[in-house]
Amino acid sequence: MLGQREPAVYGSQTLADIDAMLHQQAAELDIQLKCFQSNHEGALVDQIQAALHHCQGILINPGAYTHTSIAIRDAIAAVALPVVEVHLSNIHRRETFRHHSYIAPVAVGQICGFGAQSYALGLSALVQHVRAASA
C-alpha cells in the first residue's frame, strides 16, 4: 500500500521505488541486497531466521509490528545479526502507542522520520557497522 496509504504521512514513493533506490545504493556499496515484504508476521519471522545462514545484517521496517510483535523481536534476538530498524515517519512524534518499539532494544539503531531516505540512511549505517565489526 506504500505510495497509496496516507501519503501525507508515508510519502508517495512505492515499495518498488524504495527497493530500486536500495539496490542502486547496494551496488555503490558493493554489497548484495535481498528485499522482502510481507503483511504476515510469521513470514517475517521465517525471513529473519533464514537470514542467519546468508546475511550479515538486517535492515527492517516492521511497520505496526514494531509496537506489537514479541515474535519478531525474539527472532531478531535469536539470530544475533546486527539490525537497523527504519520507519518512514517519526514514530515518536505520532500517537503515543507508536512510541514504544519492541525491536529497538535488540537493534543496533533506529532511524525514523526521513521518509524513504530513512532506508538509505539505515542501509548506510548497517553496512558501516558490519564493516567496522569485521575489521
| 102 part of the active site | no
Which of 65, 87, 102, 119 does the annotation list as catalytic?
A: 87
Q: Which of 104, 111, 69 is nearest to 89 (CA)?
A: 111
Class of CATH domain 7-116: alpha beta
Q: Which residue among 10, 23, 92, 129 is the active-site one?
A: 10
Q: Is 92 among the catalytic positions?
A: no
Give residue 135's pLDDT.
86
Q: Which of 48, 53, 49 is nearest to 85 (CA)?
A: 48
In whole angstroms, what separates CA 53 from the centre of its chain? Answer: 18
Residue partners of 79: CB distance under 8 A and separation at least 6: 48, 49, 51, 52, 58
Would you state the cell numbers that stand for residue 111, as one nine-digit string?
532511524
The sign of the torsion formed by the CA atoms of 134, 106, 117, 48 equals positive
The pTM assigned to this predicted structure is 0.91
For the chain (135 residues), the mean pLDDT of every run of 10, in chain order, is 62 86 98 97 98 97 97 98 96 94 98 96 98 94
